Amino acid sequence: MLSNSLQIMDILSHRLPDAMVLMDRAGIIIWCNDAFKALSNHVEVTAIGLELHKIFPVRRKNANSTYTAPIVELFIKGEKNVNGIYRYTKKDNAYDLDVHFDVLDENDPKSEVLVSIRDLTSEMKDIQEKQKKELERSYMASLNIMDDLEKEKINLQREVEKTKLNEKRLQEAMNIKTEFTSTVSHELRTPLASIKGSIDIVMSGSAGDVSADQNKFLSKAKANIDRLKRLIDDFLDFSKLEAGKASFEKEWVDLKRMVDDVIDIQHAVAEKKGLVLKTDIDGILPKIFCDPDRVNQVLTNLLNNAIKFTDTGYIEVSAHILEGTDVVHVCVKDTGEGISKEDIGRIFEKFQQVGDPSHRKTGGTGLGLSIVKEIICQHGGKIWVESEVNQGSKFIFTLPLKAEGA
Ligand SMILES: Nc1ncnc2c1ncn2[C@@H]1O[C@H](COP(=O)(O)OP(=O)(O)O)[C@@H](O)[C@H]1O
Ligand SMILES: [Mg+2]
């Protein structure tokens, strides 16, 4: 068992990176491990039996920069506190060694001493080498990252260029479209006005007698010409708004007065259908900075729709400032046919007419709400609808109270 332990100890000591020497009290080497042989250049020749301080003259530097006698010699002579770090020069290389003396049996003056020597220089070198390698690796990694970033930057620049080009093309296409729309609309308006004028003359009887039947057909033609004119006007208006080409003449507007004006104009149509028109406006509503003609157009469109799609009940226009906000909420509420959940998402899109098809004959263009939405958005507001089939609808829009940038 003991011999086994010694064997293990022997193997372990040879595996250790620290140099180990067992010496007697005269400094004669009894045993040493492989690390010591490497450090003292005794790889080939065995060191056993030699004097440690002669083959390995590690010295301590004094305050006046002269070296003392070899440290092992000092220890043999009985100097205390010899454990420490020493400079050792071999050929042209200087080593810093951490030397430690352990007397195996403190009570026996003849006891052997184990000297352990750690080479701090190579340990430092190892660390430095590791750090250098680590630095090199990080440097290479950062070079790679920079390379990737550079590539990414070039890709991004290309994308930006592409997007710019596409934007330019899109803008060009939009311009062509607006120009085309405006030209076609103008070209259509002139002959239309002429047809309408001619029908008016025929209907007035100044071009000869008109029978009741003829008058009926002429009225139909006139109504359709009116409808076509509305469609062209709306289409031209929407195209301008959509292209951002419509200019807004904003001023401080009294919203209550504007609502009253719009209601006054629509009153007769509503009354004809037996509908009640009501308002509910905040008493202390401040003036709003907006284009009065455009906001009037919004209210007129919404009120028109409310009257058109309501057969019984009432229509109410309300305007309130929500507490703690800088926006006014305007709501046009009706008790009409309502809009189904499937259709509600489509009604602000151009040319969308939903619900009861019989109403579509009443002269709509399906552009009214698209125009309304553009006007509100371009005033910095929002518009949405809450509705239930056969219960009625609420069209709500907001407008900022403050002028933009104020
Ligand atoms: N108050 C409302 N009640 C029920 N449906 C409505 C109401 N307002 C709009 N709608 C629906 O939204 C569609 C689009 O409205 P709009 O853009 O004004 O076109 P138009 O009035 O020319 O039909 C209408 O055709 C109708 O189906
Ligand atoms: Mg409409």
- Residues 135, 272: one domain? no
Is 169 within a domain? yes
**Mean of pLDDT over the chain:** 88
Atom of ligand 1 nearest to the CA of 310: 3
The atom number, within ligand 1, closest to the CA of 336 reads 3
Decide if 223 is inside a domain: yes
Tens-place pLDDT, residues 24-42: 999 999 988 888 888 776 6
Q: How many domains does the chain have?
A: 3
CATH number at residue 209: 1.10.287
Angle at 368 between CA 241 and CA 377, to 5 degrees: 45
pLDDT of residue 40: 78
Residue 405 lies in a domain: no
Is 297's C-beta closer than 6 angstroms to any atom of ligand 1? Answer: no
124 within domain boundaries: no
Residues 8 and 140 in one domain: no
Same domain, 177 and 310: no
Residues 396 and 378 in one domain: yes
Count of Cβ atoms closer than 10 Å to residue 260 Cβ = 13
Same domain flag for 374 and 256: yes
For the entire predicted model, the pTM comes to 0.60
Residue at a domain's end among 242, 264, 279: 242
Which positions ≥6 away from 46 have C-beta within 8 Å?
none
Q: The domain spanning residue 15 has which CATH number?
A: 3.30.450.20
CA of 282 to the centre of ligand 1 (A): 27
Label residue 2 by pLDDT band (50, 70, 90): low
pLDDT in tens, 315-349: 999 999 988 888 999 999 999 999 999 999 999 98
Separation CA 175–CA 319 (nearest Å)? 37
* Among candidate residues 242, 263, 289, the one where a domain is terminated: 242
**Rounded to whole angstroms, how far apart are CA atoms 75 and 56?**
14
Q: pLDDT by residue (tens digit) across 244-261?
A: 888 899 999 999 999 999
Ramachandran angles phi, psi of 90, nearest 5°: -130, 120
Mutate to test the pocket of ligand 1, among 305, 395, 396 (most ligand atoms within 8 A of CB): 305
Same-domain pairing of 330 and 384: yes
Q: Which of helix, strand or coil describes residue 51?
A: strand
The verdict on residue 384 lying in a domain is yes
Q: Is residue 406 part of a domain?
A: no
Does residue 182 fall inside a structural domain?
A: yes
**Could you tell me the residue range of the domain that residue 376 belongs to?**
251-400
Burial 158-170 (b: 16+ CB within 10 A, else e): eeeeeeeeeeeee
CA distance 178 to 386: 33
For residues 32 and 160, state if they share a domain.
no
Q: Which of 242, 273, 305 is the last residue of a domain?
A: 242
Neighbours of 203 (CB within 10 A): 16
| 304 CA closest ligand 1 atom index | 21
178 and 313 part of one domain? no
Residues 42 and 133 both lie in one domain: no
Look up the CATH number of the domain holding residue 295: 3.30.565.10
